[in-house]
A and B are shown apart, each in its own frame.
Chain A
Amino acid sequence: MTAILQVRDLVAGYEPGLDIVRGCSIRADTQEIVVILGPNGAGKSSLIKAIAGLVPVTGGQVLLDGQDITATPAHLMVRRGLAFVPQTDNIFPLLTVEENLRVAGGLPPRPESAPRIDPMFALFPDLARQRRLPAGSLSGGQRQMLAVARALIVHPRVLMLDEPSAGLSPKFVEMVFARLAEIRRSGLTIVLVEQNAKAALSIGDRAYVLVEGRAAHEGPARSLWDDPVIAELYLGQRRAS
């Protein structure tokens, strides 16, 4: 296994002197689904936003396939092969579904972009039916699908998602995660930040538990779920019977 994404001792925060990520190290191997868990305020969101170039980094390193991409401007990350799906407001509501896919950076202009767009509609048939409608008319689950499709269309090597299950009904959560598991098989590495530990660990290979801006625990997703101490202490919920 080779690490496609390697984060070493990352320090990051919105304001100087108020670091939220405090020397965090994680890695993700090729075709792996890595889950990042942790209590509220542990810095999970900030960690992946810092990796994506959206939170100022003051220390440490981010390597993508051996290349240093630390603090690359956010809009260039996509071209480097790192796609990020934010938790909320992750679509452009007034653009049509298809336009939402077309604005993805690094996409070649028409007509060469058609072979990139069509597979997305094949992957998410719901979106195909509504391709000419404003994205704002989509349901919560469909919006999440659209955001994922837009991230995938640029053929990233690593896909990072911030709580894709937030605000979705259990049925949709199941659907989103099933799709993610499917997408991984195409050779993609996925880094997933989640509150919904059960759903995330069920598709994850490996997981980290973040505490106070650091990776406090690491292990195979299955064993983390089975560890009662970690479940109670850090996942904020009792182990399901």
Chain B
Amino acid sequence: MNLQFLADGLITGSLIGLGAIGVTLTYSILRFSNFAHGDLMAWGAYAALTLLGLISALVGSVAPIGVLSFGWPLILAAGLSMALVGGMALVLDWLLFARLRAKGQAIIVVMASFGASMALRSLLEFIFTSKPAYFSRAIQMAMPVGLGIRVTPDQIVLLLVTLALVVAMHLFMERSQTGREMRAYSQNPALARVVGIDVARIVRATWMIGGGLACAAGVMVGILVQIRPLMGLDMLLPMFAAAILGGIGSIPGAVLAGLIIGLSESAAVQLVGAEWRAGVAFAILMGVLLIRPTGLFGVAER
């Protein structure tokens, strides 16, 4: 058996995990499954692509960093896009979700997120067409790293970036006051108000973080694969499977589960055939819901 699947699975899995952090936070704090989360990823990738075009138009072409396929303009564009998509998530909440949440029926908010997802996706197709786009046309050579595994420099760097984002996110939730308040709110929203936690601030932080991380994951998929309006939709099921397998509300859980799903997917490609890839996340999702609905690190609802 070729061990290449390990590298592929690790990279896909870390991106799934990064996206799943946003899903798990929205689910545990705002209490609904946001089906538009994947589209925030796609919007993030296109936002970065557009900003990259603007920056290139302003400063001319910039040489890539070392052996990577991209230079500082893409890093800058990605950073700005993360803020933009975080802001976009806030606008979406203000326009749509907050109004429906106030009515108190979670299922309506979920349905609204389906609608938002379709609208956001169609808007991307309308603006950018459904033709795939790329940050760079440069072709990267994969380097052998032993055991028959080959990885590109981009893959290694982005894996490290993902790791850094996940660690930063974990520290933020554990150590910062906002992180503590977010955890408190997810455990007991009514008590959070009583002890003086500003709910509006928690909701804003959740969207900013979820949107920002979705954007980061989208840009990375764009760098490693390609940019398409449907890229977010394709990631949606694996991200939900990771959020649920990891245990709703658990960030380490979401990331670990993302890796498990990524590895299972790429193993399945090799063992049973590429056409079964998408079925893996679904099988895992069903299995978890049937056997251990609280997931790896989840806590049963009181």
Contact surface of A with B, Cβ cutoff 8 Å: 52, 54, 73-79, 84, 86, 89-95, 99-100, 102-106, 109, 150-151, 154
Contact = CB atoms under 8 A, between A and B. Distances in A.
Given A95-B184, A103-B184, A89 B191 contact: yes
A92 B177 contact: no
Contacts of B133: none
23 contacts: A52-B194, A54-B190, A54-B193, A75-B193, A75-B194, A75-B197, A75-B198, A78-B195, A86-B190, A89-B190, A90-B191, A92-B184, A94-B187, A95-B180, A95-B183, A95-B187, A102-B177, A103-B184, A104-B196, A105-B195, A105-B197, A106-B196, A151-B195
Nearest to A108: B177
Contacts of B190: 54, 86, 89
A93 B180 contact: no
The winner among B184, B195, B197, B299 for most chain A CB atoms within 10 A is: B195
B28 to A, nearest CB: 11
Contact of A92 (B188, B193, B196, B198): B188
Contacts of A104: 195-196
Contacts of A93: 187, 302
Interface size class on chain B is 10 to 19
Contacts of B302: 89, 93
B39 interface: no
Contacts of A95: 180, 183-184, 187
The winner among B181, B191, B192 for most chain A CB atoms within 10 A is: B191
A84 B194 contact: yes
B106 interface: no
Interface string B125-163: 000000000000000000000000000000000000000
Contacts of B188: 89, 92
Contacts of B299: 94
Nearest to B193: A74
A105 B196 contact: yes
A90 B180 CA distance: 16
